[in-house]
Amino acid sequence: MLEMVGEFPNAVEALKYLNLHSVDVIFLDIQMPFLTGMDFIQTLKNPPKVVLTTSDKAFAIEAYEYECIVDYLVKPIHPERFRKTIGKLKNAYQPAMANGDSGTEEDMVEDSLYINIDKRLIKLHWGEILIIAAKGDYIEIKTITTTYRVHATLRKIKEKLPDSRFMQIHRSYIINLTKIIDIQDNSVLIERSVIPISRSHRPDLMQRLNLL
């Protein structure tokens, strides 16, 4: 069930609210005073799920570059199309919302995981993670901004990652498939890191890629 907790005439007022409150979903117009919808998303450090609304279809491709965007509604919005959006939101928050339970914030972490660093729990969204490497009794999680060292095994973290996005390509490496820049011979390039592909994992990787 959706409950509207706020409605704002512009992005500035919305930001003031979000600085003090947490929400699960934002229905966001692309054309707004002061900031566009895309600019607004970029100001949020950990954006919730977002449904974009607009009368211009031209923004659709750009919209899906953002991990947080669940759907894109073109005005005028028809009831049947809106119901499909609600279905997508329920799927995004499985299993809590799908079971009819709004759940707690801790339950709704299907797009992320928490790691324990110096007695602090740090939330990592799937889109932030680039590479996970085994280092003895530890793993190193390389993200877009930094690298975390966690006392865990590659097998343990692999169980928590979505297969649709992540894949183990070597006994010591798991990669985010969406972050691959280049593949050459027996290695992949992710940002500036060259990661080896083992012979046993290469066929599976080739099958997972959308090859032309």
Tens digit of pLDDT for each residue in 140-178?
999 988 999 999 999 999 988 988 889 999 999 999 998
pLDDT band, residue 63 (cuts 50/70/90): low
Sort strands 173-176 and 180-184 into parallel, antiparallel or unpaired: unpaired
For residues 166-188, b (16+ Cβ closer than 10 Å) or e, as one string? bbbbbeebbbbbebbeeeeeeeb
Q: Are 131 and 174 in contact (CB under 8 A)?
A: yes
Evaluate the CA torsion angle 143, 144, 147, 148 in order and state its sign: negative
pLDDT > 80? residue 104: no
Measured between alpha carbons, how far is 178 from 67 in angstroms, rounded to an integer? 11
Q: What pLDDT sits at residue 83?
A: 86
Residue, of 135 and 18, whose pLDDT is higher:
135
68-92 average pLDDT score = 84
State the chain's mean pLDDT as an integer.
82
- Domains annotated for the chain, with CATH where assigned, are 11-92 (3.40.50.2300), 112-208 (2.40.50.1020)
**Whole-prediction pTM value?**
0.50
Q: What percentage of residues in the chain have a pLDDT greater than 70?
A: 84
pLDDT > 90? residue 132: yes
Residue, of 113 and 138, whose pLDDT is higher:
138
Structural tokens at position 87: 């279905």
